[in-house]
């Protein structure tokens, strides 16, 4: 049960010097007050101050449109593609990246272009994010197949459960569309193993990295997916309404879901736009959202993703792991359950609250104490990024102990 919420919020730690040294010290890049423990990047990443300024500056250019040149429609967008490609482990593969407004847009584009046999099924995880499930379900039904939903394994071993479903699907498998970790509690999936099994069964692989990219390394070369979709507003700390679709080399000559002018060949020649052409810009650019050169969002996204990439995903993951491990340890001391470390992602940990706790009441009570996390299902979802530190976690654990009326 959540205890009364009338207790005074704990004093903000004015002196943060008691923190253990962390491998990353990037908090000053963000507008994060010392008395805010923002452990909620899985909901929405804070935008770095530099990215906010880049966005404002970009918006300001609309006040002076004569400063906007033809190159401004392509050069910053290609820089952004380049950054996504690097984070995906395919540096230089600028042609593989389309810019989208959302994960659902990327899934819809991929679903429009994947051709699987009639009656072929799509494997997803139980309670997977709706922007994946809705799009892939439509695609499965269109081909006379269905979704095969992998139930949450009691032992938290999603990889074995997904592999078993691939095995059970046999020749009716058309696509495996699972993420590197579950958005609700960070349960990990070994995508290299899953993708290998899917490909051996003749199926395609699509991956939603929205809850992963920026927080941990991803390796397209190792996973060998057909499509990867993502958004910038969580772990890449970018703006809302800007994402990407990476298309494997054999999927770069497909059909976009809309037909904007910038996606067509020669679109840099503004004077020749009415010389209509059936040809496209190289590679996955054909799938770009219309008005892709958003003068506010693109510079903001570029500044944010470049900053997050500069931390090095390996280091970021190690930093986050240190913090989520402490969350798990502290939660266990309060009698709460988390998945074993090897089966959860470095950056998201789901703390199971048990039926006696009013989960809905807990998140606002924590927020009153300067601790920001999410409740998803019966789990308190705690997420840690490069800007978090040990004092954020201690603030969370202290507030939890107080609200639950338990002592570690
Ligand atoms: C795994 C995952 N994918 C995608 C999204 C967002 O999807 P969209 O960009 O379609 O709104 C979220 C948001 O929480 C998510 O957790």
The CATH number assigned to the domain holding 315 equals: 3.90.1150.10
Which residue has the least CA distance to atom 7 on ligand 1?
103
DSSP 213: B
- What are the pocket residues of ligand 1 if the criterion is a CB atom closer than 6 Å to any ligand atom? 102-104, 129, 131, 179, 183, 208, 210-211, 231, 243
Tell me, yes or no, whether 2 lies in a domain. no
Handedness of CA 220, 341, 22, 390 (dihedral sign): positive
CB distance 383 to 372 below 8 Å = no
pLDDT at 139: 94
Q: Does the pLDDT of residue 16 top 80, yes or no?
A: no
- CB environment 378-387: b (16+ within 10 A), e (fewer): ebbbbbbbbb
Lowest mean pLDDT among 285-289, 345-349, 353-357: 353-357
Give the number of residues written for the chain.
408
- Please give the backbone phi and psi of residue 380, each rounded to the nearest 5 degrees, phi first: -90, 115
DSSP 88: T
Residue of 237, 281, 291 whose CA lies nearest to 55: 237
**CA 326 to ligand 1 center in whole angstroms:** 27
The string of pLDDT tens digits covering residues 300-332 is: 999 999 999 999 999 999 999 999 999 999 999
Q: How many CB atoms lie within 10 A of CB 229?
A: 31
**CA 42 to ligand 1 center in whole angstroms:** 9
CA distance 110 to 225: 12
Which residue has the least CA distance to atom 3 on ligand 1?
210
Among candidate residues 247, 281, 309, the one where a domain is terminated? 309
Mean pLDDT on 197-210: 97
CA distance 86 to 214: 11
Among candidate residues 272, 287, 309, the one where a domain is terminated? 309
pLDDT, averaged across the chain: 93
Number of H helices, E strands in the chain: 11, 12
**CA 84 to ligand 1 center in whole angstroms:** 17
Tell me, yes or no, whether 221 lies in a domain. yes
Same domain for 395 and 317: yes
Helix (H) / strand (E) element for 89: namely: none
CB < 8 Å & 24+ apart, contacts of 239-242: 239/47, 239/51, 239/55, 239/296, 239/297, 239/300, 239/301, 239/304, 240/44, 241/101, 241/102, 241/297, 242/99, 242/100, 242/101, 242/294, 242/297, 242/298, 242/301
CB distance 338 to 352 below 8 Å = yes
Confidence grade of residue 354 (pLDDT, cut at 50, 70, 90): confident
Tell me, yes or no, whether 383 lies in a domain. yes
Residue 231 alpha carbon, nearest atom of ligand 1: 9
CB distance 270 to 70 below 8 Å = yes
Residue 104 alpha carbon, nearest atom of ligand 1: 10
**CA 101 to ligand 1 center in whole angstroms:** 11
Same domain for 193 and 88: yes
Same domain for 336 and 222: no
- For 345, the domain range is 16-47+311-404
Same domain for 400 and 283: no
The string of pLDDT tens digits covering residues 136-191 is: 999 999 999 999 999 999 999 999 999 999 999 999 999 999 999 999 999 999 99
pLDDT at 13: 37
% of the chain beyond a pLDDT of 90: 88
DSSP 292: -
Among candidate residues 309, 339, 371, the one where a domain is terminated? 309
Task: Return the CATH number at 177.
Answer: 3.40.640.10
Q: Does the pLDDT of residue 18 top 60, yes or no?
A: no
Tell me, yes or no, whether 291 lies in a domain. yes
């Amino acid at each position: 049960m959540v205890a009364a919420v009338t207790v005074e919020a704990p004093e903000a730690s004015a002196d943060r010097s008691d923190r253990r040294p962390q491998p990353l010290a990037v908090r000053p890049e963000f507008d994060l007050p010392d008395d805010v423990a923002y452990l909620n990047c899985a909901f929405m990443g804070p935008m770095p101050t530099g990215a906010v300024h880049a966005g404002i500056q970009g918006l300001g250019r609309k006040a002076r449109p004569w400063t906007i040149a033809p190159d401004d429609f392509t050069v910053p967008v290609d820089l952004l593609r380049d950054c996504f490609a690097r984070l995906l482990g395919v540096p230089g593969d600028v042609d593989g990246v389309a810019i989208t407004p959302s994960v659902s847009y990327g899934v819809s584009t991929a679903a429009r272009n994947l051709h699987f046999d009639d009656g072929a099924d799509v494997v997803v995880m139980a309670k997977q994010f709706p922007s994946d499930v809705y799009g892939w379900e439509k695609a499965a039904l269109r081909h006379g197949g269905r979704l095969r939903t992998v139930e949450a394994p009691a032992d938290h071993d999603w990889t074995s459960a997904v592999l078993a479903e691939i095995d059970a699907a046999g020749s009716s498998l058309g696509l495996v569309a699972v993420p590197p970790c579950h958005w609700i509690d960070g349960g990990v999936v070994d995508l290299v193993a899953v993708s290998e099994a899917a490909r051996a069964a003749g199926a395609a692989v699509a991956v939603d990295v929205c809850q992963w990219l920026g927080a941990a390394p991803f390796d397209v070369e190792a996973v060998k997916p057909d499509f990867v979709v993502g958004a910038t507003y969580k772990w890449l700390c970018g703006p809302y309404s800007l994402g990407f679709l990476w298309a494997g080399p054999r999927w770069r000559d497909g059909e976009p879901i809309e037909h904007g002018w910038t996606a067509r060949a020669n679109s840099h020649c503004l004077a020749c736009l009415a010389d209509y052409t059936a040809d496209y810009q190289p590679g996955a650019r054909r799938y770009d959202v219309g008005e892709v050169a958003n003068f506010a969002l693109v510079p903001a996204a570029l500044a944010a993703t470049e900053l997050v990439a500069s931390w090095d995903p390996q280091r970021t993951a190690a930093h986050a792991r240190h913090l989520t491990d402490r969350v798990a340890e502290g939660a266990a001391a309060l009698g709460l359950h988390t998945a074993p470390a090897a089966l959860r992602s470095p950056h998201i940990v789901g703390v199971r609250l048990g039926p006696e706790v009013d989960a809905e009441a807990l998140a606002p009570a924590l927020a009153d104490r300067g601790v920001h996390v999410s409740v998803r299902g019966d789990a308190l979802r705690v997420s840690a990024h490069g800007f978090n530190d040990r004092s954020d976690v201690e603030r969370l654990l202290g507030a939890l102990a107080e609200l639950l009326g338990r002592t570690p």
